[in-house]
Amino acid sequence: MKPLDDELRNALKRVEPPPGFAGRVMARVEQLAEERARTAAKPVRSRAAWSPASWFGRRMSLSFGALATMAAVVLLAVGIALWQQHRIEQERREGEAARAQLIEALRVTSAKLNHVRTKVREVTGDGSLMRTPGRHRTNSEPLFDGTGSGVLPAA
């Protein structure tokens, strides 16, 4: 045989355990069994019945950090929704104010134009609004010819 085989045979040779070894092992096994029995006999404190875990029909472990994070997300979503609603309402109020200003400006402009129109009629004497050289337009004639050129053909 080779020397390696001899070394392996010597290393793997059966050795008798020291005296009392079996007793120590059995004592340790009994001790571990008693500890497990005590631990299993203790009632496990369950979570409150109102916990989110009970809503889903299973037990879930939620830490304080997870609950705080969920609460922060909900508060953030509600805050964003309220801010967006406020912004929409503010834009609506601004639009209504701009509309009221525009209506008032149109009313004032209409009044001024009517006043100017009255003065022009008083000055021209015949009630015409436009004068062309050598020709007077009456109120029954149109201002434009409808062709898009913006002027009346010469008469």
Mean pLDDT of 127-131: 54
Average pLDDT of the chain, as a whole number? 79
Mean pLDDT of 2-6: 87
Note the helical H segments in the chain. 3-11, 21-41, 52-55, 64-124
| pLDDT tens digits, 59-110 | 556 788 888 999 999 999 999 999 999 999 999 999 999 999 999 999 999 9
Residue 111's pLDDT band (boundaries 50, 70, 90)?
Answer: very high
Do residues 129 and 117 lie in contact, with contact meaning Cβ atoms separated by under 8 Å? Answer: yes
Query: Which 8-state DSSP code applies to residue 63?
Result: -
* Burial (0-12, 13-18, 19+ Cβ within 10 Å), 144: exposed
- 66-102 b/e with 16+ CB inside 10 Å = b? eeeeeeeeeeeeeeeeeeeeeeeeeeeeeeeeeeeee
Instruction: Give Cβ neighbours of residue 141 (< 8 Å, ≥ 6 apart).
Output: 152
Mean pLDDT of 110-138: 75
Mean pLDDT of 124-152: 57
Q: Which two tokens stand for residue 36?
A: 């497990």
Mean pLDDT of 1-12: 85
Q: What is the DSSP string of 106-133?
A: HHHHHHHHHHHHHHHHHHHSS--S-EET
| pLDDT tens digits, 23-67 | 999 999 999 998 888 887 666 555 555 555 555 555 556 788 888
Residue 12's pLDDT band (boundaries 50, 70, 90)?
Answer: confident
Cα 14 from Cα 36, distance rounded (Å): 34
Of 144, 134, 130, nearest in space to 153 by CA: 144
Cα 89 from Cα 83, distance rounded (Å): 10
